[in-house]
Amino acid sequence: MRLSYTKALNRALADELDADPAVCVFGEDIGAGMAGPTLGLLDRFGADRIVDTPLSEQAFTSMAIGAALAGRRPVLEFQIPSLLFLVFEQLVNQAHKFSLMTGGQASVPLTCLVPGSGSRDGWAGQHSDHPYSLFAHAGMKTVVPATPTDAYGLLRSAVRDEDPVVVFAPAGALAVRETVTWELEPIPLGRARVHRPGTDVTVVAVGHLVHDALAVAEELAPEVSVEVLDPRTLYPFDWEALAASLQRTGRLVVFDDSNRTCGFAAEVLATASEEMRLVAPPRRVTRPDGAVLPFAPALDRAVQPSREQLRQALAAVLKHP
């Protein structure tokens, strides 16, 4: 069967709701399934578990933290990624720290799902952020699936986790479809995936950029052997997988749709430079410093990491013997 990315998220939520009566979903317009992942869930599971909330992210996030502390497993849907800025205090300073500050006596098994994170055509500056680096920096479990099967498996594992998890579903991946068998399994958090093995250079690509990296790798295949590594979970990161990849290739490019300064790519480059085998200076392809995506489509695309920028970065690391 052919499985779309959005349908994979929808199926993961339905399967977890079926499997565990403690699972519930909060969010705006989720009863109508406006964003896709919650489509049909209200009719199937009822208004006691699929809670269409008022227009206040701070209110329903606080409510969900309380529900999690009381034994429920809430999933929060945020239709726009920048809405996470409104609830950063509740998630990072409250939900994330409860377990640490109580010596493990309390836990907050809360999942935040952000369908359509990053740029969507014409959504402009206040709707096009991709703030996964902020949550990885804070030490929250942070997931960015690239494929439908990974979206399904990682979301199920996120809902089952005892800690809060933020799942970013990139807008650039929502149209991806995959041929799958009916049986799909949860995928453990913290394990990377090698989509394409190679021997000359490693590309660590995040989210939808995995597909661009694979296209460039195929294009360059006659001359260059590119390994494409998808971390899937940004925190905790699978450093062992990256070390093994760099042991094979010795060269590194990170392809990352977050802003350059203090972004995710910077952490990967720093750790690889400190601890792993490199035979050439690593490179990163990111959004520019302090990027705010414009409304105009041509300007929007110009700010995003591109295949051409990846080609240039690969050429730069490969010129070193």
Catalytic residues: 127
Tokens of 219: 């294009």
Backbone angles phi, psi at 232, to 5 degrees: 65, -55
Residue found under tokens 């409304």: 295
90-106 burial by CB neighbour count: b if 16+ within 10 A, else e? bbbebbbbbbeeeeeee
Tell me the torsion sign for CA atoms 142, 147, 150, 152.
positive
Q: CA distances (Å), 77 to each of 27, 116, 126, 138, 194, in order?
A: 5, 11, 17, 20, 29
Task: Find out whether 95 and 67 touch, Cβ atoms under 8 Å.
Answer: no
Reduced to 3 states, what is the DSSP secondary structure of residue 208? coil
Choose among 154, 149, 145: nearest CA to 177.
149
- The 3-state DSSP composition of the chain as helix, strand, coil percent (nearest 5) reads 40, 20, 40
Tokens of 211: 């597909």
Tokens of 63: 């409510």
Q: How far apart are CA 124 and CA 118, in angstroms?
A: 10
Q: How far apart are CA 27 and CA 25, in angstroms?
A: 7
**DSSP state, residue 284:** E
Tokens of 72: 């429920």
Identify the bridge partners of residue 50 per DSSP, sorted by sequence position.
Answer: 25
Residue found under tokens 């014409």: 122
